[in-house]
Each structure stands twice: as C-alpha cells, then as structure tokens.
Amino acid sequence: MLLASRLRAAGRPALAASVRARRPASSSSSASTKPSPWASPVTWTSLGLSGAAGAAVLAYYEYERARKRREVLTKVTTTGKPDLGGPWALVRARDGALVTNESYAGKHTLLYFGFSKCPDICPSELVKVGRVMDALPPRMRDNLVPLFVSVDPWRDSVAQLRAYAADFHPTIDFLTGTPDMVGAAGRKYRVYSSKADDAGDDDYLLDHSIVLYLVSPTGEFLDFFTQSKTASECIAVIERHMQGAGPEEDLPEHLGPVDWALGLLGLRDTGAPDEDGEFHDTKAGAAKA
Ligand code: NI
C-alpha cells in the first residue's frame, strides 16, 4: 500500500509529462522535423513513458479499488437505514392524553405494533420487551420508552388497553387512536395489518407484521428486531445504540490535507477517503514495513 502510494505520488507529474510528450507526436508537422520518441524501440524516454503508464495503471487500479470500497460503504449506510419513522399522533391509554412522537423526544423509543386480542404473538413479544427493560442498566432503562401501538382501533379502546397493560411491564406505554391515526402511524413504519377472518362481527384476528423498531431521541430510526431475535440479542444491539456506538460510527472519518500528507509518508493511518474521495490505506504497508 505504501509502495502504491509512493508510485502514485511519483506517477502524477510523470503522467502529466507523458501527456505533454504525446501532443507533438500526434501533430504531423513536429513529428516530421523531430525524431519521435516512439520511433526507436527502446530509449530512456520510452522507458520513462512506459514507467509512467505503469504508474498510471496502478494509480487507476487504486482509484477504482477505493471507489468500489466507498460504494460498498455507502450501500451499507443506505440499506442499514431504511426510510422509516416520522411524526405521528395517538392516544395514550394510561391517561387518555393525546401524544405525538414529540412527546417522547429526548428518549429512545422501542415501538411495537399489535393488538390486545392477539392470542399469542403479541403477548410473547411484549414479555420480551419487558425482559429487555429489566436487563438494561438503569441509566439506559430510564432513557428508553417501549411503545405498543394498536393496529386494532375498533376494539382497542383506551379502557381496553389500560386493562391489557396491567399484564405487562409497567414502562410500556400503550397507544391507540382513530383508525386514521393508527393507520397513519403504521404507514410511517410500513406496518402491515389485515383482518384474517372478517366475518363481519367483532370476533376477528389480525395478521400483522411483528417487528420492534428502535428510534433515537431525535426521532431517527435506528434498528429493528424481528420475532426471531431473542431478548438478549435485542439488548446487545440496543445497548450499542444507546452508548452512541451505532453502525454509522464505524465509517471512516473525513480526512484533511494534513492527514492525507501524513498518510502518504506512512505517519498516519488513513484508512479513509481524502478530499479527492480516494482511500490512502497505509495501515497494511506500515505494518509490513
Ligand atoms: Ni399479534
């Protein structure tokens, strides 16, 4: 890597020289009066030019490699952060208050969409949420509010949810609302729900997505947990996010020109793109040297 960096550094002026050298050769008038460097098979000039071309190829290869690596990093960022979340307004069962996403600003939230008449999945997911809350260090527990959002506004009244809440962890806020309010909140998280057996009466089940969404204190979607994730797997990821060490922090920092120069000299580990967007990864080279 260090060698490649040096070659590239050397290759830049040499490449410029080779471009200048080509111009007279391509113009017919000067080519006839002066012997072209391409005329004799081997001269110092042609050796120099092929060296420069080699350096240019190396530089180009390095550039492409850096570009692909950057592409991969960018892709990870975009797929890791789907466009989920946004403002919502619902009614809190505990006190009948109208609450919005802003009511929970400053705290992390753990959202789950379900319904109180769900026979098994919703209760077991809510038990899991309770386990997560019990296992978190108190400092983090105080900074995380689990929210249960009903996808069944027809039956999940404030009174119904208040009674239902008694079976689960006391930190969970149960939210419901009009079908419009509940539908709008669900759409922000691309929640699927549909009556499974609509016989027209009040005795129906709902098919719905079973996902826990972790949202930041500023309302930014951070992560999600499917049903297959155990409480301890959820806890590990939640703790990482709440410690401010989310995946985005693993991306290389932006490097200034001084870092770039130090990187060329092998004095700084610059496994990150410089201002030209190129990577100068001297770590491997420095380790071998
Ligand atoms: Ni359910």
Distance CA 90, CA 177 (A): 5
Using alpha carbons, select from 88, 108, 110, 109 the residue that is nearest to residue 99: 88
Token pair listed for 14: 């040499």
Residue 198 Cα, ligand 1 centroid: separation in angstroms?
A: 16
Distance of CA 80 to the CA centre of its chain: 4
Residue 120 Cα, ligand 1 centroid: separation in angstroms?
A: 7
pTM (predicted TM-score): 0.59
Q: What is the pLDDT of residue 247?
A: 47
Q: φ, ψ for residue 119 (rounded to 5)? A: -70, -40
Residue 132 Cα, ligand 1 centroid: separation in angstroms?
A: 19
Q: What is the pLDDT of residue 64?
A: 67
Residue 113 Cα, ligand 1 centroid: separation in angstroms?
A: 8
Alpha-carbon distance values, 251 to 95, 113, 234, 272, 285 (Å): 43, 32, 22, 8, 21
Residue 165 Cα, ligand 1 centroid: separation in angstroms?
A: 15
Q: Name residues of the chain where pLDDT drops below 70.
A: 1-49, 57, 60-81, 198, 244-289
Residue 230 Cα, ligand 1 centroid: separation in angstroms?
A: 17
Q: What is the pLDDT of residue 55?
A: 74
Q: What is the pLDDT of residue 28?
A: 45
Distance CA 124, CA 140 (A): 22
Residue 234 Cα, ligand 1 centroid: separation in angstroms?
A: 19
With the C-alpha atoms ordered 280, 285, 287, 289, is the resulting torsion angle positive or negative? negative
Q: What is the pLDDT of residue 37?
A: 53
Residue 122 Cα, ligand 1 centroid: separation in angstroms?
A: 4
Sequence letter at residue 7: L
Q: What is the pLDDT of residue 181?
A: 97
Q: Which residues contact 77 (CB under 8 A, 6 or more apart)?
A: 248, 251
Q: Which residues contact 216 (CB under 8 A, 6 or more apart)?
A: 108, 222, 241
Residue 150 Cα, ligand 1 centroid: separation in angstroms?
A: 10
